[in-house]
Amino acid sequence: MDATLQALRGLVPRELQNPRVGIICGSGLSGLAASLRQSVLVSYAELPGFVQSTVPGHKSSLAFGLMGSGAGVPVVAMLGRFHPYEGHKLSSVVYPVRVMAKMGVKNIIITNAAGALNPELTVGTIVVVHDHIALPNLTGMNPLLGPQTDPSLPRFLPLSDAYSRLLRKLVFRAAHDLSIERDALAEGTYAWVSGPTYETAAEGRFLRAAGADVVGMSTVPEVLAAREEGMNVLVLSLVTNAVVIPASYQSVRDEFEAEIAGVSTKTVVEEVVSHEEVLALGRLKGDLMKSLVEKVLDLLPSNTQQ
């Protein structure tokens, strides 16, 4: 950690060395940081402890700068995150969050691309996450597992308050101030799965039955580290696709038997999702996400821990 912080002190101008807000850009959402002023980019390759993002739509740089109107808020944005499915250790996935904490970040805005499980969520909706289901955490893949390296951090971290109510409300205030239509935003629960495979229909049904609204392959490890470090957390999921969950299975035996009986049938073609589709939606809705985040920064109270 000391080596990373020292490198950053050498690469980032002094006035940007104490960002107030950290931002993590999800798949295809690095444009979020396009409006940073006085921006300075630091490649992950220059930072000891950082790994590389290997996923299309994720760059590998930290961007420092001022965001929002007026004087602006000093922020640090990860243009490209790390996922366990890339082969990165969980400790590497959350390392940038720990660095942000050491630089003084008190609020973190984490974005991601996610598939909709809730049939009421349409593609393009931004979901303000208020809870999560993390099957990997529940089954032993938790970034906080292991010896406590910093005794000042809590051993048993509560998560019932993981998603800041104040920050969530600010998103709706921001949307209201920007006259964003009501249906563009929703609230929901994010299910974290390891990926890199997308869900089968049965898995989608299972996660929906468990109460998840959207599903993705990131975010929760970062949320855990950020909460452990005492940050206020806001998570925004962009719905890039629907997880296809047919109400019932249409039997191939029935289809076959109808065919040989000469009865005409509708052949089922299973829909599939692709990362290209995910990235395309990120590009399409990138501006909306950017305006929302900028407005949240404008509204952030300046006189509190926030």
Ligand X SMILES: Nc1nc2[nH]cnc2c(=O)[nH]1
Q: Which residue in 4, 27, 61, 118 binds ligand LQZ7MJT6 (CB under 6 A)?
A: 27
Residue from 184, 201, 275, 298 touching ligand LQZ7MJT6 (CB under 6 A): that is 275
How far, in whole angstroms, is CA 144 from its chain's centroid?
Answer: 18
276: Cβ contacts below 8 Å, ≥ 6 apart? none
| Strand, coil or helix: 148 | coil
Q: Does 88 bind ligand LQZ7MJT6 (CB under 6 A)?
A: no
Residues 251-281 as b/e (b if ≥16 CB within 10 A, e otherwise) read eeeeeeeeeeeeeeeeeeeeeeeebeebbeb
Asked whether 52 and 44 are in contact (CB, 8 A), the reply is yes
Can you tell me which residue has the tokens 């993590």? 24
**Is 113 considered catalytic here?**
yes
Is 86 marked active-site? yes
- The Cα 16–Cα 20 span in angstroms is 10
Which chain residues interact with ligand X by CB under 6 A? 113-115, 193, 195, 198-199, 215-217, 240-241, 243, 273, 278
Among residues 225, 116, 122, 129, which one has the least CA distance to residue 171?
A: 129
Let me know if 27 is a catalytic residue: yes
- Is residue 59 part of the contact set for ligand LQZ7MJT6 (CB under 6 A)? no
- The verdict on whether 83 is a catalytic residue reads yes
Closer to ligand X by CB, 103 or 116: give it: 116
Report d(CA 228, CA 235) in Å as an integer: 16
Within 10 angstroms of residue 17's Cβ, the number of other Cβ atoms is: 16
Instruction: Based on the shown chain and the rule CB under 6 A, indicate whether residue 218 belongs to the binding site for ligand LQZ7MJT6.
Output: yes
Q: Examine residue 119 and say whether the peptide bond preceding it is cis (omega within 30 degrees of 0).
A: no
- The annotation status of 88 as a binding-site residue, yes or no, is no
205 binds, among ligand LQZ7MJT6, ligand X, none (CB under 5 to 8 A by kind): none
Q: Which does 53 bind (CB under 5 to 8 A by kind): ligand LQZ7MJT6, ligand X, none?
A: none
Distance in angstroms (rounded) separating the CA atoms of residues 178 and 163: 23
| Residue of this chain nearest to ligand LQZ7MJT6 (CB atom) | 26
Total number of residues binding ligand LQZ7MJT6 (CB under 6 A)? 13
Identify the active-site residue in 107, 112, 237, 241: 241
Active site residue 44: no
Q: Which of 217, 225, 226, 231 is catalytic?
A: 217
Binding mask 131-170 for ligand LQZ7MJT6 (x = CB under 6 A): ----------------------------------------
**Residue from 81, 106, 168, 285 that binds ligand LQZ7MJT6 (CB under 6 A)?**
81
Spell out the residues 6+ positions from residue 53 whose beta carbon is closer than 8 angstroms to its own: 44, 59, 60, 80, 81, 82, 86
Token duo for residue 148: 């406590």
- Ligand-binding annotation for 218, yes or no, is yes
- Distance (Å, whole) CA 131 – CA 251: 36
294 is catalytic: no
Partner whose footprint covers residue 83, from ligand X, ligand LQZ7MJT6, none (CB < 5 to 8 Å by kind): ligand LQZ7MJT6
Catalog residues that contact ligand LQZ7MJT6 under the rule CB under 6 A: 26-27, 55, 81, 83, 112-113, 195, 216-218, 275, 278
Q: Which residues are annotated as a binding site?
A: 27, 58, 81-83, 113, 199, 218, 241
